[in-house]
Amino acid sequence: MTITKETRERIAKTLVGLDTFYLALGQFVAQFSETEALIQTVFWELAGIQSPTAQAVFSGVRTDDAMGKITRIADAQKWSLSAKNKKDFIFGQLKHINKLRNNILHYGAQLEGPDTWKVTNENFVHVPENISSEVISPQILQAARNDLDTIELLLIDLILINGPHEQAARDAIDEALKTSWQYKPPPQAGRRRKTRDRSPKRKHRPAS
C-alpha cells in the first residue's frame, strides 16, 4: 500500500497538533494546581488559622468548598461591598475554569479535527437532557491559563485588601480588575420545562 504525499502531510499535521494540544493541556493542569494551592492558603489566612493547624483541619477542602467557606467568612467579617464584589468577580470565573478542568480530567477529550477537541459527559449519563459538551483547543486552554494568572493576583489581594500595598502591586491589581476574562464557558442548556396553560378559564356561575 502506497501512502500518498497528501496523506503523509495530513498525518504529520495531526501528530503536531497532538503535541501542541497535550503541551497546552499539561500547562493548564499545572497552572490550575498552583491556583488550587493558593486558594487554600488564602482560605487559611482569612480564617485566621496558621500552619500546621490549618493543614490538620482543612486538608480535605477542595476549590469549590474553599470558595464557599471564604464567602461565609466574608459574611461573618462583614466585608465591604467592594470587597465582596471583588470576591464574586474572582470566584465567578474560577468556578467556570474549575468545571473545565474537572470535565477534562473526568471525561477526557476526543479529537474532532485540527486543533479541535470535544469534552463531553455523554458516556456517563443516562438522561439525554443531562448531556453537556464543550469544544476546546490549545488556544482555549491558553486563555484559561491567562485567566488563572489574573485570578492568582486577585486572590493575593483578598488577603491584603485591608492593609497597605506597594504602589507597584496596587497598580498591577487595579489593572487586573480592568481585564476581561479570556476563557468563555459554553452556554448552559437548561432543561425544558412544561409550559403551563395560562389561557383564561371560563368561570361557572354558582347555581341559584
Over residues 139-179, the pLDDT tens digits come to 999 999 999 999 998 998 888 765 555 666 667 777 777 77
Residue 174's pLDDT is 74
Between strands 133-136 and 110-113, the pairing is unpaired
Considering the entire predicted model, what is its pTM?
A: 0.77
Q: Say what the pLDDT of residue 16 is.
A: 54
pLDDT tens sequence across 45-97: 999 988 889 888 888 789 999 999 999 999 999 999 988 998 999 999 999 99
Give the burial class of 28: count Cβ atoms within 10 A of its Cβ; 0-12 exposed, 13-18 middle, 19 or more buried.
buried
| Mean pLDDT of the chain, nearest integer | 82
Give the ranges where 77-184 is alpha helix by DSSP (H): 81-107, 138-160, 167-177
